[in-house]
Structure 1
């Protein structure tokens, strides 16, 4: 950690993002029970976030920061991110909140795999062992063949997590020249290209309460995304990422309060394995990064 890190504000922002995303997930399930479809949910998630992001940028770095020379990179990030969001929303519709949230905890596992395969990052026995442990946890939660968890939900959940890991790699590369808010802005705006005509094609009629939920999905989702990225700019990843696992608490509370559903015993057994795997991967990567930084002067001599 450096002297410029702001640990407590970073943790606060990250915890706020966890609450926002958990609230968004609960709203998605509620809106779906009132007749909202997947395309409508995706459209309002992205369209509703645009004014929030624009206001955030205007009050912060200024609208001039939205200029970019990497539109193609933003388009790729949008395609992968929108695919991930589609699978994530599908998982929320297919599974209880706690189980859907638990599967999302596999993002660090997939990030390790993709980093080794796509970025040729050196990955040793420690992180590969954590990957195996994480997938054991997935098997415990999903209980394949038992019928307790719909296999479609398990598949969409893992696809969402793997694509989220790919997004993190893309953002890592783009972050060298693009501010976080700029990345979020182009993700939301470019998403309108496929989502707007699809939304018009599938547009249904809803009561005022359902429309309000759809608007809130976009607003809360934008707040979650902005507070999440802000946390990374204030402190190391190893400090803020563990806060994400508190999402299981909120998902469990929302699932019980709104839908009368609690996680089964297998989820409580498998979730700690997945969480332990993710925490170890983050800790190991940070430790290796510090070791490389310490050895850099000696290498240059």
Structure 2
């Protein structure tokens, strides 16, 4: 039944968001135990490769990874890795709830880039939502105070911007390349690139830290595959609202593991940003303008 498929898609999405939120908490834990940014990124990509390969092998088959657009995958990898630096950096610099909240601005940046770069028609409804969304950012950051570190907030917003840029690239690549092919090449191409700087930073860790680093890759990979599966069973408009449950996970992990609780300004501004993003997604679905873009959907594998 159609209703059963939609429910399955929603449950997969909720599971995926929980996995990616868990990955963020593990990134923060790994850093607290001495793992650096490049090291964490390397293991994030390395351990996702066997998962992605197995998923493709049991689905469309390994023959589907053939591509005639290798240059496009190289470009996507370069932009994706740059975005990962900011995404992981935001997790390390900010409390988890605030880092998650900045990721909610992805639809806002996607709207701006779509209008400027792709010349997509953007009416006053979505431009109004963009303005409201950035008002929400001001509420959360309180730039006139020391509520959120300015550098951390900047990194968080840059992370969202690069997620949106990757979305623009994937809209173009997706015209000829299956999702699995794109995910595979991003994972495979990024490992040797990250291995070069990581080779100069290799250091010993205790078994628990190594387990956390492996877990970052495996849990993140499982989460990304669940995201992909969610849109196969349910419409994007049905599963996108589930992405905002990441704020709940970010808050719980931040409080339980790191003793950090979101401030009142975050609780006030986050719903404004979420409402802006949901309205943009709704308008895109209604007008048939490109696929809706969310922070979780674009999380690199």
Which TM-score applies when normalising by structure 2? 0.93
Aligned to 2:297: none
Structure whose CA Rg is larger: 1
State how 1:61-140 maps to structure 2 within 5 Å. 61-140=60-139
SS of the counterpart of 1:177? coil
State how 1:1-301 maps to structure 2 within 5 Å. 6-289=5-288
Shift of 1:236: 2.6
Residue-by-residue CA offset, 1:194-238 (whole Å, 9 max, x unaligned): 201111111121111001100000001111112112223333322
Give the ranges of 4+ consecutive aligned residues of structure 1 lying more than 6 Å apart after TM superposition. none
Residue-by-residue CA offset, 1:1-42 (whole Å, 9 max, x unaligned): xx7993222212211110011000000001110000000010
CA 1:252–1:4 in 2, change beyond 3 Å: closer, same or farther?
closer
Question: Within 2, Cα distance between the matches of 1:4 and 1:246?
Answer: 21
Question: Within 2, Cα distance between the matches of 1:109 and 1:129?
Answer: 10
Contact map agreement 1:181 1:226 (CA 8 A) in 2? no
Which moves more between the two structures, 234-243 or 113-122?
Answer: 234-243
Contact map agreement 1:91 1:156 (CA 8 A) in 2? yes
Residue-by-residue CA offset, 1:102-125 (whole Å, 9 max, x unaligned): 000000000000000010001010
The runs of 5 or more residues in structure 2 that have no matched partner are 290-301
Which moves more between the two structures, 276-285 or 136-145?
Answer: 136-145
Question: Within 2, Cα distance between the matches of 1:268 and 1:155?
Answer: 19
CA 1:173–1:235 in 2, change beyond 3 Å: closer, same or farther?
farther
Question: Within 1, Cα distance between the matches of 2:282 and 2:237?
Answer: 6
Contact map agreement 1:5 1:235 (CA 8 A) in 2? no
Which TM-score applies when normalising by structure 1? 0.93
The count of residues paired between Structure 1 and Structure 2 equals 288
Root mean square deviation of aligned Cα:
1.5
